[in-house]
Chains A and B, each alone.
Chain A
């Protein structure tokens, strides 16, 4: 399983994705490879194509609960409009270029404080991160 946590830790709760990935890496789950990056870019398609399962972890704006864990799939209308890609665009690239279709999920962790140049997570985001990590560790133990 490949876990990619992405976001900018210098932008407040935008750092939830990397923080999640680092927590999972520290947990040392066998069979789980963890990557951290500022954003998803085209070369992640190469990594994703080589994984049987992939989880994208990102901060979520305006989420109703602590986190949202959903399945992801290549999008028929995906485009690359920026240096930064969506999980669906990465999956579409992996399918288009490498004929790969890994099982994919997105872990969106709700944040509150985005955009300003600030280090560290807000208190609500920290609590949401704890709940997301707890859920994931339980979910992953049967999936690796």
Chain B
């Protein structure tokens, strides 16, 4: 081989939004550079400016239809701060938590059963026509039916707490606009036993996959990095809704801990690179080269001291044992972590449904008005930050969002390069199976590029191979 080449994977399949991968090969066919690009950008932050603070928790759900609840709650938390509310009434906080656990659960279930399962069950290099969810369902229809009922359970919780599927209005600045009627509670409780059993079965599948394929998992896009997530104030437990920020090094040493989420901008900096619309956040004290970090389910397992629900905590201990007590770096271990979180959410939902505070009537608090609000939570894909400033007319003058996929930008780029070097370097021809390996690595982060770039849409995979003079040498599409 005597000429350098460029391979493009554009757009990505089973990934939300517009993105593409470019892989630059040198004259000997070895990977020189591999990048995940975001190819479209529409300014949501600008759209928010001028809006009244009361409508922001509803409007932000229009960012993307994939995880509107996360944006709804993060914005509501920011508006709590602006309204001077530092402590919600118990009913309000518990209703919001119930909404959030329902959202995380249903999002993780969809990703594992419908988006990741074909790769995990049939292999990354299996023929594309077999690597299909309908092949999975033909073989295991009961699995598919359970996944749908788990999704519906999560959606029912969202509807019961947010009010409706589109543009839910449940969370309002300073509280919530409704409690949970007893008949709704009882209908959800009637299903909780099945949910817990099915969550444990799903966890067993993800755990079994990881352990049965330990060599593959530990050798596939497994690289050291820093990790960041929110953990519970005080004891450092996993907390998806509220807490402080904690960051760990690849060796598990604390980089920062108990950082008030309202001070996130003192610790994190967003870098811009000319070839991507998506920013590259890093930990300020470590700089861009060493300060990048990963977020998401696996990061949360690494950073949390423990989980406050017994079944999920035992499962997390097993995951930590798999990496000998140190942070787990394998990208594919995200699947195991994701299913631990599903079980955690189901346990928390059960706990909340038995809590009489959900039927309370003190729904909203008030306080002394502030000009600035920052709301942070752990969304299904990882940490989510909403930051607003408002003027004396209650109109938003500043908005900054850091979504999970943006936090993971550098990590996903490293995963792409790692896998490209392993499976594409030195190959004279690209195959669909080789390229799917790259996509599997990206998919493990369950990125939502729609959300990260504030665009919508997805298209089938296209791959183009260019010579050094820009001429198209090869093209593949699936």
Binding site for B on A (CB under 8 A): 8-11, 14, 18, 36-39, 41-43, 45-46, 78-84, 92-93, 96-98, 115-119
Contacts of A9 in B (CB 8 A): 62, 166-167
Given that A42-B151, A46-B152, A93-B144 are contacting pairs, would A82 and B165 also be in contact in the complex, using a CB cutoff of 8 Å? no
Nearest CB in chain B: distance from A80 CB, A: 5
Of the listed residues B43, B133, B134, B455, the one surrounded by the most CB atoms of chain A closer than 10 A to its CB is B134
Beyond contacts A82-B15, A84-B458, A116-B42: 17 other A-B pairs, Cβ-Cβ < 8 A, are A8-B62, A10-B61, A11-B62, A36-B164, A37-B65, A42-B151, A79-B132, A79-B133, A80-B14, A80-B133, A80-B134, A81-B458, A82-B13, A83-B16, A83-B115, A96-B134, A117-B62
Give the complex CA separation of A57 and B336 in angstroms.
37
Contacts of B149 in A (CB 8 A): 46
Would you call B59 an interface residue if the criterion is a C-beta within 8 Å of the partner chain's C-beta atoms? Answer: yes
Q: In the complex, which of the residues A18, A41, A45, A46 contacts B110, with contact meaning CB atoms closer than 8 Å?
A: A41
Contacts of A98 in B (CB 8 A): 145
Chain B 86-104 interface residues, beta-carbon cutoff 8 Å to A: none
Give the complex CA separation of A118 and B51 in angstroms.
13
Once the chains bind, are A43 and B148 in contact (CB under 8 Å)? yes
Q: Which partner residue on chain B sits nearest A6 by CB separation?
A: B65
Once the chains bind, are A82 and B454 in contact (CB under 8 Å)? no
Contacts of B454 in A (CB 8 A): 117
Once the chains bind, are B458 and A117 in contact (CB under 8 Å)? no
Once the chains bind, are B151 and A36 in contact (CB under 8 Å)? no
Contacts of A118 in B (CB 8 A): 47
Would you call B435 an interface residue if the criterion is a C-beta within 8 Å of the partner chain's C-beta atoms? Answer: no
Contacts of A46 in B (CB 8 A): 148-149, 152
Give the complex CA separation of A57 and B115 in angstroms.
25
Given that A80-B114, A81-B13, A96-B137 are contacting pairs, would A41 and B43 also be in contact in the complex, using a CB cutoff of 8 Å? no
Give the complex CA separation of A18 and B164 in angstroms.
13
Once the chains bind, are B458 and A97 in contact (CB under 8 Å)? no
Give the complex CA separation of A42 and B134 in angstroms.
12
Q: Which partner residue on chain B sits nearest A39 by CB separation?
A: B65
Contacts of B133 in A (CB 8 A): 79-80
Binding site for A on B (CB under 8 A): 13-16, 42-44, 47, 59, 61-66, 68, 110, 114-115, 132-134, 137-138, 141, 144-145, 147-149, 151-152, 155, 164-167, 454-458, 460
Q: Which partner residue on chain A sits nearest B153 by CB separation?
A: A43
Q: In the complex, which of the residues A36, A42, A115 contacts B147, with contact meaning CB atoms closer than 8 Å?
A: A42
Q: Which partner residue on chain A sits nearest B155 by CB separation?
A: A43
Give the complex CA separation of A9 and B62 in angstroms.
7
Interface of A is mostly: loop
Contacts of B138 in A (CB 8 A): 96
Once the chains bind, are A10 and B59 in contact (CB under 8 Å)? yes
Give the complex CA separation of A9 and B137 in angstroms.
33
Once the chains bind, are B166 and A38 in contact (CB under 8 Å)? yes
Once the chains bind, are A115 and B114 in contact (CB under 8 Å)? no
Give the complex CA separation of A83 and B64 in angstroms.
11
Contacts of A97 in B (CB 8 A): 137, 141, 144-145, 148
Give the complex CA separation of A18 and B133 in angstroms.
28
Once the chains bind, are B166 and A36 in contact (CB under 8 Å)? yes
Give the complex CA separation of A18 and B457 in angstroms.
17
Nearest CB in chain A: distance from B112 CB, A: 12
Q: Which partner residue on chain B sits nearest A47 by CB separation?
A: B152
Given that A10-B59, A82-B15 are contacting pairs, would A42 and B114 also be in contact in the complex, using a CB cutoff of 8 Å? yes
Once the chains bind, are A14 and B456 in contact (CB under 8 Å)? yes
Give the complex CA separation of A68 and B166 in angstroms.
25
Contacts of A96 in B (CB 8 A): 134, 137-138, 141, 144
Nearest CB in chain B: distance from A79 CB, A: 5
Closest 7 CB pairs of A and B: A10-B62, A38-B65, A117-B47, A43-B151, A80-B133, A82-B458, A81-B13
Given that A11-B456, A84-B458 are contacting pairs, would A117 and B42 also be in contact in the complex, using a CB cutoff of 8 Å? yes
Q: In the complex, which of the residues A14, A36, A45, A83 contacts B66, with contact meaning CB atoms closer than 8 Å?
A: A83
Contacts of A79 in B (CB 8 A): 132-134
